[in-house]
């Protein structure tokens, strides 16, 4: 019988539901409390977590004695304040959805508070755990590539989905597209290159999506396409190409890492629920290709994702693997794999990229990696 852990959710919308479905696959996971102001989300969350108590505010949640770990899945702009309240009033482990914050002024404070927290604090950057990305990481960690020099991440996907109260339509709520979703990719850059960024240059715009939408008369201001170039301390370089009106693609993410001896690529499809199986047949399977220079000859390998995990979310099984890691960190003291330091550095890179576009110049990261100035 597995040791049981009682989770409490702060916010339980689309991503909260994905966390609930994945925790349901991990024996010993109980959902004891959920704070969710939206009635429709409460109703559907109750079907996934029938034993959960629905609280009316965070103070009432904090008064409960049946919570072993917190999961924050509220809109981005709320994370920093909710984290600060948990740091002040609870000693329990915390898993917070990315981005950890949306205001540069919160970065150092959260870093300090997380470092003092007596139990694991984990930022949900689960792209690391997608099986094809895990396979890519293994290749990069091996010797096949030689000296790694270049990393390119291309994401060609569907536009931002509709969210509760449309919070994701404005930079002030999400932190901006390059913070909101692309912090995942800046995290991958740091992880794959084992290095820290020193300079960021970006070009981006709002050219296709959301232009006809109005919210209380206001037009969304979120980027729908961008290029970002990141220079790393050792001289390695990375590039992100983001396009959010390209869901016709076979693969959503295409990542390549090139070294002196070989290149490795991985190709990852988007959420299976968006693939038109009726006309195109089964959804594409993730794949990884190793292409040595000598002797030439690309070696392609399919990396299928377990069907149960695919059905539990939109992220190729990664939310499941992340929760397994979080559980081990809580129960066995294994290391936190995505720390607040990682989460905040990825956010700072996204903020630097947003600032680069707004100011029309490159940004130099400061030595601590948490802020930036015009280069």
Ligand X SMILES: NC(=O)c1ccc[n+]([C@@H]2O[C@H](COP(=O)([O-])OP(=O)(O)OC[C@H]3O[C@@H](n4cnc5c(N)ncnc54)[C@H](O)[C@@H]3O)[C@@H](O)[C@H]2O)c1
Which one of residues 36, 155, 195, 337 is an interface residue with ligand X (CB under 6 A)? Answer: 36
Which residues lie below 8 Å from residue 368, measured CB to CB, with a gap of 6+?
none
Which one of residues 2, 27, 37, 307 is an interface residue with ligand X (CB under 6 A)? Answer: 37
Q: Are 200 and 230 in contact (CB under 8 A)?
A: yes
Q: Residue with the closest Cβ to ligand X?
A: 13
CA 334 to chain CA mean position, Å: 21
Which one of residues 106, 126, 155, 195 is an interface residue with ligand X (CB under 6 A)? Answer: 126
Neighbours of 26 (CB within 10 A): 14
Q: Which stretch binds ligand X (CB under 6 A): 7-15, 260-268, 272-280, 296-304?
A: 7-15
Which one of residues 21, 98, 157, 190 is an interface residue with ligand X (CB under 6 A)? Answer: 98
Kindly state whether residue 62 participates in binding ligand X, applying the rule CB under 6 A. Answer: no
Kindly state whether residue 202 participates in binding ligand X, applying the rule CB under 6 A. Answer: no
DSSP state string for 311-351: HT-SSTTHHHHHHHHHHHHHHH-PPPSS-HHHHHHHHHHHH
For ligand X, give the closer residue by CB, 36 or 231: 36
Kindly state whether residue 337 participates in binding ligand X, applying the rule CB under 6 A. Answer: no
For ligand X, give the closer residue by CB, 14 or 233: 14
Q: Which stretch binds ligand X (CB under 6 A): 11-19, 25-33, 267-275, 279-287?
A: 11-19
For ligand X, give the closer residue by CB, 169 or 199: 169
Kindly state whether residue 375 participates in binding ligand X, applying the rule CB under 6 A. Answer: no
Site size toward ligand X, by CB under 6 A: 25
Beta 5-10 vs 69-72: how paired, if at all? parallel
For ligand X, give the closer residue by CB, 69 or 264: 69
What are the DSSP E strand ranges found in the chain? 5-10, 29-35, 53-55, 69-72, 94-97, 121-124, 148-156, 197-205, 225-232, 237-243, 253-259, 262-268, 287-292, 299-302, 363-365, 372-374
CA 45 to chain CA mean position, Å: 22
According to CB under 6 A, which residues from 234 to 293 bind ligand X?
A: none
Which one of residues 20, 23, 35, 288 is an interface residue with ligand X (CB under 6 A)? Answer: 35
Which one of residues 33, 86, 87, 97 is an interface residue with ligand X (CB under 6 A)? Answer: 97
Q: Are 243 and 155 in contact (CB under 8 A)?
A: yes
Beta 5-10 vs 29-35: how paired, if at all? parallel
**Rg of the chain in Å (alpha carbons):** 20
Q: Are 148 and 233 in contact (CB under 8 A)?
A: no
Residues pairing with 291 in the sheet: 263
- What does the per-residue mask of binding to ligand X show for 147-186, with x meaning CB under 6 A? ----------------xx---------------x------
Q: Which residues bind to ligand X, rule: CB under 6 A? A: 10-16, 35-38, 41, 73-76, 78, 97-98, 124, 126, 163-164, 180, 315
């Amino acid at each position: 019988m597995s040791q049981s852990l009682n989770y409490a959710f702060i916010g339980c919308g689309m991503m909260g539901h994905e966390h609930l479905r994945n925790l349901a696959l991990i024996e010993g996971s109980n959902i004891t409390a959920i704070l969710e102001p939206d009635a429709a989300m409460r109703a559907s969350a109750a079907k996934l977590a029938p034993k959960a108590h629905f609280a009316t505010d965070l103070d009432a949640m904090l008064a409960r004695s049946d919570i072993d770990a917190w999961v924050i899945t509220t809109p981005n702009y709320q994370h920093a304040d909710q984290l600060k309240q948990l740091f002040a009033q609870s000693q329990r482990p915390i898993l917070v959805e990315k981005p950890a914050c949306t205001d540069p002024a919160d970065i150092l404070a959260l870093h300090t508070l997380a470092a003092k927290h007596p139990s694991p604090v984990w930022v949900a950057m689960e792209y690391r755990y997608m099986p094809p990305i895990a396979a890519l990481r293994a290749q990069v960690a091996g010797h096949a590539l030689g000296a790694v020099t270049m990393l390119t991440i291309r994401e060609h996907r569907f536009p931002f989905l509709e969210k509760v109260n449309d919070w994701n339509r404005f930079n002030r709520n999400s932190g901006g597209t390059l913070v909101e979703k692309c912090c995942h990719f800046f995290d991958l850059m740091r992880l794959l290159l084992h290095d820290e960024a020193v300079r960021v240059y970006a070009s981006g715009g709002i050219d296709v999506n959301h232009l006809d939408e109005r919210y209380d008369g206001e037009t969304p201001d979120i980027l729908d396409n961008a290029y970002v170039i990141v220079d790393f301390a050792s001289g390695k370089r990375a590039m992100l190409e983001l396009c959010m009106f390209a869901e016709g693609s076979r693969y959503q993410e295409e990542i390549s890492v090139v070294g002196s001896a070989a290149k490795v690529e991985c190709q990852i499809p988007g959420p299976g629920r968006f693939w038109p199986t009726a006309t195109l047949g089964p959804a594409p399977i993730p794949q990884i290709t190793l292409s040595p220079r000598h002797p030439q000859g690309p070696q392609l390998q399919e990396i299928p994702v377990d069907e149960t995990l695919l059905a539990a979310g939109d992220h190729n099984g990664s939310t499941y693997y992340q929760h397994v890691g979080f559980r081990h960190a809580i129960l066995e003291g294994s290391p936190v794999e995505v720390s607040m330091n990682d989460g905040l550095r990825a956010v700072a890179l996204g903020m630097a990229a947003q600032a680069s576009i707004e100011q029309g110049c490159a940004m130099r990261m400061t030595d601590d990696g948490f802020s930036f100035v015009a280069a």
